[in-house]
Structure 1
Amino acid sequence: MHVLITVVGKRTEHWTDLFDVLCEQPDVTLTVLAADVSPVTRRELARLTGRHRRLRYHVVPHLLGESLTGHMASVLFRLPGNHGVTAARPDILHVIGEAAYLTTWQALRLRQRCWAGVPTTLYAAQNVVTRFPVPFPRIERQSYLSVDHAFPITPAALNVLRVKGYRGPATIVPLGVDTRTFRPLPTDPAMRPFTVGFVGRFEPHKGVTDLLRATELIDCDVSLVGDGSLGGEIDRAAARRPGRVHRHGWAGHAELPGLLNRMDALAMPSVEVVQRNTLPWIGIPLREQFGRVLVEAMACGVPVVGSDVGEIPHVVGDAGLVFPAGDVPALATCLARLRDDPPLAGRLANQGLRRADAEFDWERIADTLCATWRGLRSPTRPFRTPPAEAGHSTREAIA
């Protein structure tokens, strides 16, 4: 089964874990078409080709881009005139990108022109019903008519699909974690002060300043992994509390499990904001669509604390504590409970380990994806003619 996957955007490192697991399926040959991805993603793709003979990838140039417009919806593949993407007909086309993305439109148009009838599946993470400006609504409608099966990552994402008009079959498939890499490691908590961790972008909507205030209230250590515009705020907090605020740069898969295992709790104190970086007169509510680091912490046996924004409570489940977003005293209370009640912290850690293995392990997710793909390429499946509307455009962006 030859699967062609398209993926775009800077925050795509975690998809390489899925690609790795998919290539371990005995009947899967994988081709990845990527653009505007991070250097880490490029390195991981190159490493995987050394491990798997049945994996090929193309990182191609792009037009516009997330760094220019602030949104992945605007990215466009720019394939050279002589490229190998269309050399072999795939059995499945899987698009990692929302229905309204320009690259989703490109992938579906490429299918119509080169591989008519190839079953197509779509990843979906939007948890807010967002009305995009022209031409994105039309692209979205065309995508919903063309896709054979959708994979929303949460129940809220499935609801958004239905509200926006997708009527096809769908299976909820969450983001995953590589439990072979993210796992409990031997540590001695008695040798360090109680430490709360944060992993992500140092930006206002991530609640970084709330976490700094909460950890100061209960006088515990805080370890922050990542980077962003609030780096100066973290440096000032470190100056106020020498030796208690620890800042690390972005960590890859080789380093992050070790950092997580040195945390006594992981916090995701996100707040909701309105994003206006695509068009200033259009506000897009920004809520956490998943919170992948929560799952990575669970797999390491670290109890988690999250705000009630977006999909954080859904991901946390019974493996952590949830507090009202922006409520610093409530966040401090949750952290103090984990510090002062070791049986509670241990129970949540064990529930997190079970949850990571039962629901979020990439191997289980790969099994679900492949089972759906095999069903779609079944010879008994009726042929689905692509809608005529999908063929109309004002510009040939992929050739």
Structure 2
Amino acid sequence: MRILFIARYRDSTMDRKLFLISAADDVVIRYVRPARWKDELLSVEQPSQVKGSLQQVGLPMIGRPNDPHRAVYATLDFGMLRFRPHIIHAEEEPDSLSALQIIVARQLFAPEARLVLHTWQNIERPRRPWVRVVQNLNLRAADGILCANHEAQAILHRRQYRGRTWVLPAVGVDTRVFRPCENRESRHDFCVGYVGRLVPEKGLDTLLKAARMLEMPNVTLRIIGDGPYRADLQRCIAELGLNERVQLESALPPEQVARVMCQMDALVLPSRTTSVWKEQFGRVLVEAMACGIPVVGSDSGAIPEVIGDAGLIFPEGDARALADCLRQIADSPALRRQLAMRGRQRVATHYSQDQIADKTLLVYREVLGPMGA
């Protein structure tokens, strides 16, 4: 089975899914990605290389790699003529211009190949007419679409998409990196953590207000990430009188994030829905769960779906409810142990990269039918 996999991953931790899929005896993967990724947070070079049955190809892009509506690859056929793929898996949204480029290339150079797209979008939002045209063309061409959450799947059905759909996140947790700490530091404080982008929709003001409400002098906050909200966040910390209790740090590589998570007593994802966005997955939740850290999330988007029974949920924007959740975890070692155990089990069952790879390969075989068996 020859798989042409096209995705705009910006860090190598996402590559392991493909290594695992390519380990199957009958699979060869050509993995096309941007040769260079640059956004407001980082800039990385992604050169071409071959590792066993996985060929990694870096292609230049016209436009910013993180712009789904105006960026395309500087290529005509993505190597389809020479590679002759059975499956083209493009981790592109149905309204993506790059997805349309890939569809045109398939029509010209690999018309027998099956096409699988991916969607995270779990909220209906206004779109320009030309974006709707692109979306409709892509939906008609796709043989199947992987959905990161059930709301995204429901939106596809409302758009009258007739192909196959599966609920399966594009990314999983590398449990070799994110795992319970063997030598956890002994501390007297109760450390609440946040890891992710510093943007208003992540609801960090709710977390700070909740910390202010907690009448527990040993509670500290550790916020790790970068983004345009940093200056506003620093002002909010000062206004709430939390300078002595909040540690604000820049973004860290995944290996360092795992080590830092192991020193947390709880991790919070307090996302808040806007008119154009709500939480689509929350990868940091499953990373913390893999480390055995209790998680608390708002009810924005896919967060309750991801957490299941392995954490606590509060109404988005409700600082008092969040404070109550944190108080429950801080006051009950038994609850902490229970949530840690459930989190590790949930990751092993649903969200490890091994599970994601196995389930993705099953999707490929289903799409191909008898040829993929």
Deviation of 1:61 after TM superposition, in Å, equals 2.4
Aligned to 1:393: none
What CA distance in whole angstroms lies between the structure 2 residues aligned with 1:13 and 1:378? 31
For residues 53-202 of structure 1, the aligned pairs below 5 Å read 53-65=52-64, 71-79=67-75, 84=79, 86-174=81-169, 175-188=171-184, 190-202=186-198
The two structures, once aligned, show a CA RMSD in angstroms of 2.5
Look up the equivalent residue of 2:74 and give its one-letter code: R
- Rounded Cα–Cα distance in structure 1 between residues aligned with 2:306 and 2:242: 32
Residues 34, 86 of structure 1: alpha-carbon distance in 2 compared, 3 angstrom cutoff: farther
C-alpha separation between the residues in 2 aligned to 1:380 and 1:19? 20
Match of 2:209 among 206, 213, 231: 213
- 2:61–2:74: 8 Å Cα contact kept in structure 1? yes
Q: Give identity over the alignment, percent.
A: 30
TM-aligned CA deviation for residue 340 of structure 1 = 0.8
CA distance in 1: counterparts of 2:17 and 2:180, whole angstroms:
21
Q: Deviations over 1:355-384 (max 9, x none)?
A: 000011111121111122124334569xxx
Q: CA deviation at 1:242?
A: 4.7
Gaps of 5+ in 1: 275-284, 382-399
Per-residue CA deviations over 1:143-194 (Å, capped at 9, x if unaligned) read 2221112211111111011111211112211242111211101244642411
Q: Deviations over 1:329-349 (max 9, x none)?
A: 111111111111111111111
How many aligned positions are there? 363
The CA deviation string for residues 48-99 of structure 1, in whole angstroms up to 9 with x for no partner, is: 947x2222223322223266xxx423222122x7975643111210010111
3-state SS in 2 of match to 1:123: strand
Shift of 1:243: 4.5
Matches of 1:205 and 1:13, distance apart in 2: 26
Distance, in Å, in 2 between the alignment partners of 1:230 and 1:153 is 26
Q: For 1:128 and 1:324, how far apart are their aligned partners in 2?
A: 18
Q: By how many angstroms is 1:142 displaced? A: 1.7
Q: Distance in 1 between matches of 2:12 and 2:342?
A: 26
Cα shift at 1:306: 0.5
In structure 1, the residue corresponding to 2:82 is in which secondary structure? Answer: coil
3-state secondary structure, aligned to 1:295:
helix
Equivalent in the alignment of 1:299: 290
Which of 295, 319, 322 is residue 331 of structure 1 equivalent to? 322
- Using a 3 Å threshold, how does the CA distance of structure 1 residues 85 and 253 change in structure 2: closer, same or farther? farther
Residue aligned with 2:338, SS: helix
TM-score (norm 2): 0.89
CA contact (8 A) 1:144 1:165 kept: no
Question: 2: CA distance between counterparts of 1:176 and 1:380?
Answer: 27
* Cα separation, partners in 2 of 1:302 and 1:208, compared to 1, 3 Å: same
Instruction: State the SS of the aligned residue for 1:246.
Output: strand
1:27 paired residue number: 26
- Listed as ranges, the gaps of 5+ residues in structure 2 are none
**For the Cα contact (< 8 Å) 1:4–1:94, is it kept in 2?**
yes
Superposed CA deviations along residues 185-214 of structure 1, whole A, max 9, x for unmatched, are: 124464241111101111110011221222
C-alpha displacement of 1:222 = 0.7
Residue 386 of structure 1 is matched in structure 2 by none
The CA deviation at 1:9 is 6.5
Residues in 1 aligned to 2:77 and 2:72: alpha-carbon distance in whole angstroms: 17
| CA–CA separation in structure 2 for the residues paired with 1:41 and 1:360 | 27
Give the superposition deviation at 1:41. 8.8
Q: Distance in 2 between matches of 1:143 and 1:120?
A: 10
Equivalent of 2:342 in 342, 348, 351: 351
Contact 2:304–2:313, Cα closer than 8 Å, also in 1: yes
Q: Any idea what SS the aligned residue of 1:74 has? A: coil
Give deviations 1:203-258, integer Å, cap 9, x for gaps. Answer: 11001122122223224111111101222244446664455211222122221110
CA contact (8 A) 1:238 1:244 kept: no
SS, match of residue 197 in structure 1: strand
16-25 or 215-224, which deviates more: 16-25
Contact between 1:58 and 1:85, CA under 8 Å: does it hold in 2?
A: no
Change in 2 beyond 3 A, CA 1:250/1:95: same
Whole-angstrom distance in 2 between the partners of 1:85 and 1:60: 14
Q: Deviations over 1:250-279 (max 9, x none)?
A: 1222211101111111100011123xxxxx
The CA distance in 2 between the partners of 1:244 and 1:197, in whole Å, is 12
- CA deviations 1:265-317 (Å, max 9, x no partner) are 1100011123xxxxxxxxxx210111111011111101100111111111111
Distance 1:213-1:30 versus aligned 2 partners, 3 A rule:
same
TM-score normalized by structure 1?
A: 0.84
* CA distance in structure 2 between the aligned counterparts of 1:163 and 1:169, rounded to whole angstroms: 14
Assess, with a 3 A threshold, how the Cα gap between structure 1 residues 342 and 379 changes in structure 2: closer, same or farther: closer
Paired residues of 2:3 and 2:87 also in contact (CA < 8 A):
yes
CA distance, structure 2, for counterparts of residue 380 and residue 247 of structure 1: 53
Counterpart of 1:270 in structure 2 is 271
* 318-327 vs 190-199, which moves further: 190-199
Letter in 1 for 2:133: R
Equivalents in 2 of 1:93, 1:78: separation in Å? Answer: 18
Relative to structure 1, the CA distance from residue 231 to residue 358 in structure 2 (aligned partners, 3 Å threshold; closer, same or farther) is same
- C-alpha distance in 1 between matches for 2:357 and 2:68: 24
